[in-house]
A and B are shown apart, each in its own frame.
Chain A
């Protein structure tokens, strides 16, 4: 395969848009996913995307803007999960399971009863990168910028709250506010990337780059950087591979990420041991 073959799909606007969105969405999910994984909330991406599907159907039914309706629904769901976890003696996995599956069930019931309000239910469930419009590119870019600004400005309180929320609270960090803002960013991330990855695959794009990064480093700041880069490469590489091998784009993006996981699993230990030896030698 030569360069002209590789660059051929870039002649199409839909493909360029798809690559932009997949790369940004991969980086965004990689970045935000670090907090998800370290808070032991890996299931939340899966749950929130299902929940937002419910919001999408409900918004169509009551005639409000689908994106706005689904967004408000997603944020409300994320806040409900956070609130339940803080106030009740149940784990985050159980809270996510109850709230999001109920929302998804409602969405399925509404779509079944009244029909899909906009984009096909299939494209929401399984993603449709090739149907990405220019507005989707701007949406993912906007949410990415919001997430980066939030993490940059709240880096330390976010890290402190993620690591040890009780001590952070005792030291004066407004942990409830930090948790709430993170949940809003997470809901926006899921909402913006859902068209690309689909409800069923979004959890992987949130979790896999962060897990790979965790296997490669013991430093939090490096973990954020590595997960962001791996997410972006997975999105970019997955899109291109999917075109040339006629594979579903969402699945290919996830499989590229999984390839990184396998490599990290097989080689990460020796990499870290070598890094440790170098560090200790100083």
Chain B
């Protein structure tokens, strides 16, 4: 089902209205309501299998809800940055070809035009990829690869950019670079929606979150959502919130709410000594 572009109230760009999505008999997400507004920087968090990617695909329009509807406001264009694990890194495309392919609708020249070369150079520079247009996508670092696909999304003129686990597999420093870059884009007016399972590395830094586990458990600012009750309902195990330097840190907790350090099970053998 393609989303119907219509006029939406207020700043709403995409509205999911009571959507239930299923690939087989068992639904993956149930009765989800979500409004993406212009300027949002929204994180969808939840455990593996909670339906984060499915909700994103429903918002993008690549998955049809079994019931409910997804509506996109007129004139709202979207871009999508997939998980790096889904990308065929041996596919023969240079960075410039990868970015240019995004302008694929309407009648266009097969080759990259002179004007497009200028635009591509500009978007690559904006994302810190200056001079890498002729490199193969595999030859870049993890953070650069992520930024190439962000450049591809922006090259379409997307007003809303969706990112599926954008920091998966990245080291701490690169993760921060990507997060700051997304923050800058958001400041420039791009609406950003991402999924993540990384509570401390990503979710605590975002201005608004949706906690999902088949259904929406909680939605709002981190201080409202990253609380023990919501997290336990989302992840199925008790969690505690620690404050450290003004930052919220989520840690596992015991049934009584105390923080539990990792311990080996008794009898487990570590190393090769006997």
> A129-157 toward B: CB 8 Å interface, digit per residue (1/0)?
00000000000000000000001110111
Contact check, B87 vs A164: say whether CB atoms are below 8 A apart.
Answer: yes
When chains A and B are docked, how far (Å) is the Cα of A171 from the Cα of B99?
13
Q: Could you say which residues of chain B place their CB within 8 Å of the CB of A155?
A: 108, 110
> B174-216 toward A: CB 8 Å interface, digit per residue (1/0)?
0000000000000000000000000000000000000000000
Number of contact residues on A: which range applies? 20 to 34
Q: Could you say which residues of chain B place their CB within 8 Å of the CB of A157?
A: 104-105
B263 within 8 A of A: no
Contact check, B88 vs A163: say whether CB atoms are below 8 A apart.
Answer: yes
Number of contact residues on B: which range applies? 20 to 34
B92 within 8 A of A: yes
Q: Could you say which residues of chain B place their CB within 8 Å of the CB of A38?
A: 91-92
Tell which of A23-31, A62-70, A75-83, A218-226 binds the partner.
A218-226
Task: Give 6 A-B pairs besides A156-B103, A157-B105, A220-B97 with Cβ atoms closer than 8 angstroms.
Answer: A152-B110, A157-B104, A163-B93, A164-B82, A171-B80, A279-B134
When chains A and B are docked, how far (Å) is the Cα of A218 from the Cα of B87?
15
User: In chain B, what residue has the closest Cβ to A216?
Assistant: B92
Contact check, B134 vs A223: say whether CB atoms are below 8 A apart.
Answer: no
The 7 closest A-B pairs by CB, nearest first: A155-B110, A218-B136, A156-B104, A157-B104, A170-B60, A170-B80, A160-B101
Q: Could you say which residues of chain A place their CB within 8 Å of the CB of B136?
A: 218-219
19 A–B contacts from the bound complex (CB under 8 Å): A38-B91, A155-B110, A156-B100, A156-B103, A157-B105, A159-B97, A163-B93, A166-B57, A167-B80, A171-B78, A171-B102, A171-B104, A173-B105, A218-B94, A218-B136, A219-B93, A220-B91, A220-B93, A223-B92
A217 within 8 A of B: yes
User: In chain A, what residue has the closest Cβ to B94?
Assistant: A219
Contact check, B62 vs A170: say whether CB atoms are below 8 A apart.
Answer: yes
Give me the interface of A with B, judged by CB distance under 8 Å: 38, 151-153, 155-157, 159-160, 163-164, 166-173, 214, 217-223, 279
Q: Could you say which residues of chain B place their CB within 8 Å of the CB of A168?
A: 104
B262 within 8 A of A: no
Q: Which of A169, A214, A218, A223 contacts B62 (CB 8 A)?
A: A169
Q: Could you say which residues of chain A place their CB within 8 Å of the CB of B93?
A: 159, 163, 218-220
Known: A171-B78, A171-B79. A217 touches B92 (CB 8 A): yes
| Smallest beta-carbon distance B126→chain A, Å | 19
When chains A and B are docked, how far (Å) is the Cα of A38 from the Cα of B89?
12
